[in-house]
Every structure is written in structure tokens, then in C-alpha cells.
Structure 1
Amino acid sequence: MIRKIDKNSIGEALRAAYDHCKNDAGGKNADYIPYLKNVPSNLFGIAACLPDGELLTVGDTDFRFGIESVSKVPTALLAMEQYGAREVLHKIGADATGLPFNSIMAILLENDHPSTPLVNAGAISACSMIRPTGDPAAKWQAITGFLAELAGSSVAVIDELYRSESETNFNNRSIAWLLKNYGRIYDDPMQALDLYTRQCSIGVTAAQLAVAAATIAAGGVNPLTHKRVFRSELTPRIVALMATVGFYEHTGDWLFETGLPAKSGVGGGIMAVVPGVMGLAAFAPPLDSAGNSVKAQKALSFIARELDLNLFGTTRCTMAVPAPAEA
């Protein structure tokens, strides 16, 4: 069955989700990164980007927060764009670990394999792959430029967050050297770690994440700029990764409840992709035990139910084309 949704129904769903979830007090800010601990916990916003580039927003969708692990999605895409999906599958993998995002044990259990570019180990490995190798400045320009093209607007590091991350990334340092020991880092390990730390410290808004998600949903063409950012055949690849490990050890629960491919970050943001339809994002700092925003999860789950966005359901959503205005 086909269900046609339009701008009005999407806007209503966003507003209803906001009203339904705005007073939820569950979760707490990440406290192992000092900067994140101090972000106001009452911030909350939801955004949708439609195929024509129109943005629908409610709440704090212009607040710039740390992208954190959502940054793993664009870097994984960039690696696939540069090397091809098969090469990334060979060098990193695509299997969910079922363990926390920063797990060292997962590397050992996977026979020295990072498993997926959407956990810390695989993301550090992906940063090491980004071309040109051996040139950290050019690599950084490639990473930030690609994210800006996905989001349709410029991005920059939150310096205080970067310092905070760099001073507390002891576990990730261990991961980088362990991957080096197993031959799964493809450039200097400390350079790759710094690139990963910096990309996690980029500031974005929920509106920017919605545009980035819409670019993925549209097969790599940004709906705002109309520029092709990556090859269309990579959309099902990255969406599959998001579906299998987007919420770490809670991914199965999320997909069971919503059927909506999405990626979370400990900064409180979640980016969701409805292939061929639209991009969604939500932001609220308090997290559950796995590092996923409590309020953003509930809001996106509410929207998925209201609009029948479950990719495994029998209803397929499409955007209704508005009737032409009368002369």
C-alpha cells in the first residue's frame, strides 16, 4: 500500500512529536566529556528536510551542538566514495558488534577487525583511509568539505569541545594503537585519532543534519544546492550501516520499534534517513545508558509511527506532488 504524505502532514507530525516529548526528563548529559556535561539539558529540536529542499523545524534546531558519532556517517560515505564500498567492506567491515561504541573487546572478538565504520574503532580506521594519505591538513579539508556539501552549509569545530575531547580520549588512543598492531590503520595512527577527535568536535545544528539526511535519502544529491555529493549506489550501503549499528547495543531495539535507519551521537543529535522520501533529525542532550538521546529517540519514533515510515512495513510512503496552482 502506498501512502502519500505532504508538507502539512509532516509539519503536523513534527509539532505533535515536539509537544508529546518536550517535558520528558529522562536520561542525562554525557559527563565523561566535560564540554557535553555543561550543554543545557532542556534544549530540544526536530527538523525535516523535504525533497525540494524545504526545511520544517520546531524547537531549538539552530543551536550548534557537537556532532560526535553522527560524524561517522559522512566519513564512512567519503571513504566509500573514494575507495568504493567493497574496499571499505574489506578494510573495515559492516558487522554490528552488539557492544558499546568504544569497545576494545569488540576488536579482539572480531579477529582484529574494526567491524564497522560506525563504531569508534572503524571510524578511526576510516579516518586513516581518507585521501590524500600522509597529509593531515588535506585530509581534514576533505572531511569537513564533504560534510558541508552533505549539509548544504559550512561547518566548523567547536574549539572548547575539541580540547575537552583531546584531553579525555584515552580509550580511543588504545583503540588506535591496537588497530595499528593488527594492520587495520592505513596511515599514521595518532594522525587518524586526531582527525577522528576533531570530526567528532564539529558543531552542527539539527537543521543541518536533516539536510544531510535528505541528501542521503535523495541518492547523493543535496536538495538545497542540487549538487551531487556522492554516487547514488552508496545510499543503500550507508543506510544499511545505519540500520544495523546506528544506536550501538540498542540498535536492535530501535529498529524493532521504528524500522527507521538512523545514527545517534553523544552530543544529543540523531540523524534519520527515509530513502527516497526525506531526511529527519532531532536533538536533545540527555542520553540513555548506551549514549543515545532519550528525547530525540522518542520524538523520531513518534514521527515514524504517525507517518508510517517503517521501512519494513507494508505501507510505502511517498511525497505527494502538490497540484499546480490555477492560472
Structure 2
Amino acid sequence: MQELIDNIVKKNSELTKKGKVADYIPALSKVNPDYLGVAVKDSKGNLYYSGDYNKKFTLQSISKTISLMLALMDNGEEKVFEKVGMEPTGDAFNSIIKLETMVPSKPLNPMINAGAIAIASLIKGKNSEEKFGRLLSLFRKISRNDKLDINEEVYLSEKRTGDRNRAMAYFMKDVGIIEEDVEEVLDVYFKQCSIEVDCVDIANIGLFLANRGIIPDTGEQITSEHIARTVKTFMVTCGMYNASGEFAIKVGVPAKSGVGGGIMAVVPHKMGIGVFGPALDEKGNSVGGYGILRDLSKEFNLSIF
């Protein structure tokens, strides 16, 4: 297993030359585009890793999976899906066009930026600090890493340059999707995207979802099996932005990418996988990370389809 993973990382390292780092968030533009790593944690507790698996990166859109989980735990399905839809989109993750042109004017799903901002508004707490504190505590628990925290530089960079997200949030406030103070909601969103992790952290979160919302080490049920399944279903239909259909065919497991270069993949009942490669394709997905997951799926017949 270890030798196979080493070979897969080596093979896909060439792909990093075909992508580029996210430069629209200034702090992300500084990352070495040649980084590539993977960690695999299976249901028996075995951990395999290779390459730049221990390099730190920010969650970005991977955070949308767990914020959705917390919002569902706080509010129930009916309220959450009054505010956010369940359908995939063919548009880019930061597109604003359908917010105004669709009736009713609500985000299509929780995995695009507009949907994730609406989800952040539903997390319970008396202010943005308490809301984010609850979310961070949840991430620490399910990643098995109580030292997780935000990268302050990335957070401030996102907050300073996030005008498109701000525009979407104020539009949603205008049409009643967001009921909270917009800047408080955005603060939660920018902070959740800026949580710093490595591949092992992502693999642990993936294994938690693969294990139906139960932390494997302790047996603690954090969320219901139904909510865990809902999150994984969104990962299949929407998790790789507007490449989700292609990814489902070529890899075939629930996954969520982020423009920080991470991808979290979930093999139900079997394993969680975290990959990191900051060189992105034109749709915002890690080029090398996609290649690693494609090869792992092929070698171990991981597809759920």
C-alpha cells in the first residue's frame, strides 16, 4: 500500500506544471505550486501518507461540508433548505448570475459560495465569534486535532478582497435569504475558509463522514447518519464545482475541493482521503490532487457507482 501511494504521488507530480495557484486571494498566491501530498486513513485506523502531506493549507471550500452539517444540526432540514437549494449548477463556484435570474432568488446548493454564505448565517450563536467558535470546535473534534486554527494572513486577505462574496451576501440580505447582519455572517464565512489543516486532518474528517457521522477512535456519534449522508450526497453532486459530473465518472467517490489546493474524499464505510496540491485547473480543483484520487480509485476500485 505505501509503495503504491508513493508511486501515485510521484507519477502525478508532473501534473502540477499544468495548473496555477489561486492568485485572486493574495495570500494564496505565495504557495509553492509544486507541492503535492496525500494521506489515507482507513476504517481500521491505518494511516498512509506520501509527498507533501504535512504542508499546511487552508480549507477554503472544503469547510462548506462541515458548516452545512452544523447548520442542519442547529436548524433541521426544512429551515436550511428554505434558504438554500439542493441542485447542482453548471456555473463557477463564485458566480452571481443565478441569484438574480432564478425564482425564488436562493442559492442553488450549499457548496457554491452564495450557498455557503447563506449556510453560515444559519449557524447558532449570539455573534460571529460564538458562531465561528462552535464551528472551529467541531472541526477540531472530528479532525482529531485540537490545535486547528485560522491562518490570520489568509483570513485578512479574504476579508479585504472578498467583494464578490460581499455583493452576493448583500443581495441575499435584500431578498430575505440572509436575516443576520451581513458583515457578521461574512466574518464567519471568511474565517471558516481560513482554517489551516494538513492532509492528515482532511483524511480524518473524511473518515468521520465515511463512518456515518461517528468518530472512529472514540465511537462518539457527532451527527446523525442522515445528515452525514446528506453532506456526502452534496459532495457527489456539487463538491467539485462544475467538474462534479466528470469527477463522479472518473473517480466516483464523494469529494470536496477548495482553492487552497486541498481535496477531501470519502469512501463510505472504508476510508477518508486528504490530498493537497495548490496548482489548480481552470475550474478551481487541484490538478495533481485530482490525478492522485483518479489513480487511487482505479487501483483500489473505490467508485461507489
TM score, norm. by length of structure 2: 0.95
**Structure 1 segment 57-206 matched on structure 2, within 5 A:** 57-111=49-103, 112-132=105-125, 134-154=126-146, 155-206=148-199
Identify the residue that residue 21 of structure 2 maps to in structure 1.
29
1:70·1:264 contact (CA, 8 Å) conserved in 2? Answer: yes
1:58 deviates by 0.7
Q: Is the Cα contact below 8 Å between 2:239 and 2:254 reproduced in 1?
A: yes
- Contact kept, 8 Å, 2:128 with 2:187, in 1: the verdict is no
Q: CA deviation at 1:147?
A: 1.2
- Given the two structures, how large is their TM-score scaled by the length of structure 1? 0.89
More deviation in 220-229 or 138-147? Answer: 220-229
Aligned to 1:245: 238
8 A Cα contact 1:43 1:283, kept in partner: yes
Work out whether residues 6 and 51 of structure 2, in 8 Å CA contact, stay in contact via their aligned partners in 1.
Answer: no
Q: Given residue 22 of structure 1, which amino acid in structure 2 is its aligned partner?
A: S
Aligned counterpart, 2:221: 228
- Alignment of structure 1 residues 262-277 onto 2, 5 Å: 262-277=255-270
Inter-CA distance 13–228: structure 2 relative to 1 (3 Å threshold):
farther
User: Are the aligned partners of 1:118 and 1:241 in contact in 2 as well (CA < 8 Å)?
Assistant: yes
State how far apart, in whole Å, the 2-side matches of 1:151 and 1:224 are: 11
1:41 and 2:12 correspond:
no
Give the direction of change, closer, same or farther, for the CA distance of 1:91–1:240 in structure 2 (3 Å limit): same
The alpha carbon displacement at 1:282 in A equals 0.6
Structure 2: stretches of 5+ with no match in the other structure: none
After superposition, the C-alpha distances for 1:103-150 in whole angstroms (9 at most, x for unaligned) are 111212332011111111111111100012x42221011110111122
One-letter amino acid of the counterpart of residue 216, structure 1: L
Question: How far apart, in 2, do the equivalents of 1:92 and 1:106 lie?
Answer: 13
Pair 1:192–1:283, CA change in 2 (3 A): same
Identify if the C-alpha distance between structure 1 residues 13 and 231 changes in structure 2 by more than 3 Å, giving closer, same or farther.
Answer: farther
The CA distance in 1 between the partners of 2:154 and 2:250, in whole Å, is 33
Alpha-carbon distance change, 87 to 16 in structure 1, aligned in 2, over 3 angstroms = farther
Assess if the C-alpha contact under 8 Å between 2:264 and 2:272 holds in 1.
yes
- Partner-residue secondary structure (3-state), 1:103: coil
Amino acid at match of 2:156: R
Q: Deviations over 1:27-47 (max 9, x none)?
A: 000111111111111111111
Q: Distance in 2 between matches of 1:218 and 1:73?
A: 15
User: How many residues were matched structurally?
Assistant: 302
CA distance in 2, matches of 1:248, 1:41: 21
Aligned alpha-carbon RMSD (Å): 1.3
Which residue number corresponds to residue 207 of structure 1?
200
User: What is the percent sequence identity of the aligned residues?
Assistant: 34
Quote the offset at 1:62 in angstroms. 1.4
Q: Is the 8 A contact 2:127 2:184 kept in 1?
A: no
Structure 1 CA distance, aligned partners of 2:59 and 2:229? 22
The amino acid of 1:152's aligned partner reads: R
Seen in structure 2, the aligned counterparts of structure 1 residues 220 and 105 have a Cα distance that, compared at 3 Å, is same
Q: Which runs of 5+ in 1 are unaligned?
A: 1-7, 313-327
Matches of 1:166 and 1:65 in 2, distance apart? Answer: 17
262-271 or 251-260: bigger deviation: 251-260
Task: Give the 3 Å change call, closer, same or farther, for CA 98–230 of structure 1 in structure 2.
Answer: same
Residues 136-170 of structure 1: CA distance to partner in whole angstroms, max 9, x if unpaired? 22101111011112211121010111111111101
Distance in 1 of aligned mates of 2:54 and 2:242 = 29
**CA distance in 2 between partners of 1:186 and 1:214 (Å):** 34
User: Following TM superposition, by how much is the alpha carbon of 1:196 offset from its aligned partner in structure 2, in angstroms?
Assistant: 0.3
> How far does the alpha carbon of each residue in 1:15-38 deviate from its partner, in whole angstroms, 9 at most, with x for none?
231121123211000111111111
Which residue type is aligned with residue 5 of structure 2? L
Which whole-Å deviations, capped at 9, do the CAs of 1:46-105 have from their partners, x for residues lacking one? 111111333211111111101111111110111112222343223212111211111111
Q: Secondary structure at the match of 2:165?
A: helix
Which structure has the greater CA radius of gyration? 1
Q: 1:12 Cα shift?
A: 4.4
- SS of the aligned residue for 2:121 comes to helix
